[in-house]
Chain A
């Protein structure tokens, strides 16, 4: 497989064509903690607006990501990555979401080497982005949605700061 084919794996192309979570949803007033974030890739003008809704945990400790919805336009890498992330973190606890975020960042820093089998199992479809990590200019594309998730979680009040989710 060429580097180009490693980057544009079928799973990425599929997610780019049929992204999950597209279309912003407002859950209205209620118990859910909601936050929205707008992120721009300054080098190419790609953008994403992402909304997260978190069900707070018992006694206000922790919580669960109830839904992630988003609008955006950009390259296939940024669109597919946001789509894969939506699938991964929906239904996850905040702790699990933080681990996924950390693992995906590690994957993007791996320069094409990937992670260990256990970690890749956790990341699932997101391991398809291993090829992207060989192209420094494209890593930002893959991280755009994750940056929006992190920021929207902080804005929702579910996280005190971005420290909770790297």
Chain B
């Protein structure tokens, strides 16, 4: 199945060149208008006829028509069980499912066999954690021993993690006797690597970290962390939920062992995401969820398992969603992730101007710099507090103006505790966000303290 975006604003002269990030490479006004026209939901009004200003894309993105159409088309034209059945529909469904895997793999710089469909990123991270659990119990034989953990072993995360990349590791430690350690966050909202060598040591077996913080927008120094993990033979697990929709991501080039990301944050459907694993690791890893579709030979006494990725895809898969996600990846790929990232650098800079509003404080880096590979070192997800007004109340006033932001701890309580705050409001952009929308947001935000009579 090769459904493609109906509009292709990406300029073929700069096809996703990661070094092209910066002013001048961003989407033109016409390209951006074409992109917005692809997203039906962006046309609706809210709260008594106000145009929607959707600044909650870090929670979930909106979907282009081509993704919606693809799901409908799948159900209307080729719905069947995949990887079984001798009929034409089954064949077509299987081809669509595997083409989607190939699209997604190409989009993130991986081989199709290294992409496991999961219900989302949380499931993907848990898959790795439970595979390690099973290896600890002796499952998977000799090859899987490299994943076994015990007392004296350490798992390292960071203080900036989303709960999805923290709690599974806490639980894995509790099941295996391993110890959890973490890299702290500095006052600037970036990882504080000053004690990295004493945190990532010979005892470290896993180093799990987010590529981009869903609170501060800070981009992690992946190369440095991967080098630290490799030096001690630790596995790296990258939470790429907030990077894959916004930056050119090449997982092979990054050199991580595993990566997790969700479909719904990258213009795709809910209910589908992916685990990336280096091929030799997936091959050595014992299964987690067992049942149909993931087996080789089953007798009443014992079962042998299919090679990856099928080994990790037990039961009927989310086929229509996976096919939709493949098209979402194609859509972003055709825009060019270099152009997408450049557009979002502009948005990040515009969002960060809220720091000029009296009483507004940004939690995280206050400007956008250039990181490794010419990529931005912070993205267009900006969390903030308003002096004297609780985040919930901030969000409510913005909502009354049609502006959708997130409020709360954004599934990162330890990071909020680090800054001594219970809750923040968060504005986050995506490829379809305009600087005019960010301007409307800033204007509404400037009136919040007056509404609550705070000076």
Contact = CB atoms under 8 A, between A and B. Distances in A.
Interface in B68-83: none
B397 A44 contact: no
Nearest to B397: A4
B225 to A, nearest CB: 28
Contact of B416 (A2, A8, A45): A45
Contacts of B452: 8, 13, 76
B413 interface: yes
Contacts of B451: 8
A7 interface: yes
Interface stretch (B31-39, B181-189, B202-210, B386-394): B386-394
Interface size band for B: 20 to 34
B397 A76 contact: no
Given A3-B47, A3-B400, A44 B393 contact: no
Interface of A is mostly: mixed
Contacts of B422: 44-47, 73-74
Nearest to B400: A4
Interface in B376-421: 389-393, 396-397, 400, 407-409, 413, 416
A20 interface: no
Contact of A45 (B389, B400, B408): B408
A45 B396 CA distance: 17
A77 B392 contact: yes
B386 to A, nearest CB: 12
A45 B409 contact: yes
Contacts of B409: 44-45
A132 to B, nearest CB: 10
A141 interface: yes
Nearest to A46: B422
A76 B393 contact: yes
A4 B399 CA distance: 9
B226 interface: no
A47 B416 CA distance: 14
Contact of B396 (A7, A13, A43, A73): A7
B129 interface: no
B400 A74 contact: no
B291 to A, nearest CB: 32
B299 interface: no
A155 to B, nearest CB: 24
Contact of A43 (B48, B390, B400, B408): B408
B390 A76 contact: yes
Contacts of B320: none
Interface of A: 2-4, 7-8, 13, 43-47, 73-77, 135, 138, 141
Closest 5 A-B residue pairs measured CB to CB? A75-B392, A75-B390, A4-B400, A44-B408, A45-B422
